[in-house]
Amino acid sequence: MTPLLLFASAFTTVFLLGIQQQNVIGRHYLAAAVTSLGIGTAQIFLWRLIPSADWIEIAATLAGGPVGIVAAMYLHPIIAAWLPVIWIATERKK
């Protein structure tokens, strides 16, 4: 169970960091603030689980990062299109 939790925590942390990068580039203030809360939560889980990790748990953690960033790169445009009200409401006026 712990390897799965570590994978999920690393995946979520890196996924949200990838989404956050796009939020910052796009100047989506509200989305960036909400995403920051998710990043902090995922990191707390990761920090609590990793100190006692064995090699399999470390491997699961390391696998979560690459999968998370690729998922973020693929899903960000889909998420942005699916939630246009949030993106429009948070865009800075030019």
Angle made by CA atoms 80, 81, 87, in degrees to the nearest 5: 50
Tell me the three state secondary structure of residue 28: strand
Residue-level pLDDT at 6: 92
Domain boundaries, the chain: 2-90
Span 63-81, average pLDDT: 92
Residue 85's pLDDT band, with cuts at 50, 70 and 90, is low
Distances (CA, A) of 85 to 12, 17, 53, 60, 91: 24, 22, 42, 36, 10
- Six token digits for residue 60: 């699961």
Residue-level pLDDT at 4: 93
pLDDT tens-digit profile of 6-59?
999 999 999 999 999 998 998 888 889 999 999 999 999 889 888 888 999 999
Tell me the three state secondary structure of residue 85: helix
Residue-level pLDDT at 89: 60
pLDDT above 60 for 83 = yes
